[in-house]
Amino acid sequence: MQIFVQHAKKGFICLKKCNQYCLKCTEDKCLTCKQDYFLTQGQKCVKCDQERQFQENGQCKECDPSCLKCNGTGKTNCTQCKLSLFLSQKYLLQIFINEFYLQLFQQSQYKQ
């Protein structure tokens, strides 16, 4: 159990439990977070939605719509693709099953 120390005016110390995701805290702010959580600018510990978001500069940001999971912005940062898409080294491959063709996209086309 992580606690912070609060000094009272009458000379005694009150102990209060930190937020469940904080490792260290002050009365109302987290100072460090547990593993897989990050500290926001508002000093709260949060965890991004592992399925659709990634963490950048203290914020959760949405993955590209073609990604099921990602580690950054754009199609080139998919770590898992949606059903009709898959990753192959330098290419994002898209299969159109009903139309029976394969479309290749070089990752460099999507760099921002």
Cβ atoms within 10 Å, residue 87: 16
**Would the pLDDT of 100 be above 70?**
no
Chain segment 31-69, per-residue pLDDT in tens: 888 888 888 877 888 888 877 888 888 788 899 887 888
Please tell me the distance from the alpha carbon of residue 106 to that of residue 94, in angstroms, as a whole number: 11
**Domain ranges in the chain?**
3-46, 64-110
Q: Could you give the C-alpha distances from 96 to 39, 85, 99, 104, in angstroms and in order?
A: 41, 9, 5, 11
pTM for this model (two decimals) = 0.51
Please tell me the distance from the alpha carbon of residue 35 to that of residue 44, in angstroms, as a whole number: 14
**Would the pLDDT of 110 be above 50?**
no
CA 39 to chain centre: 11
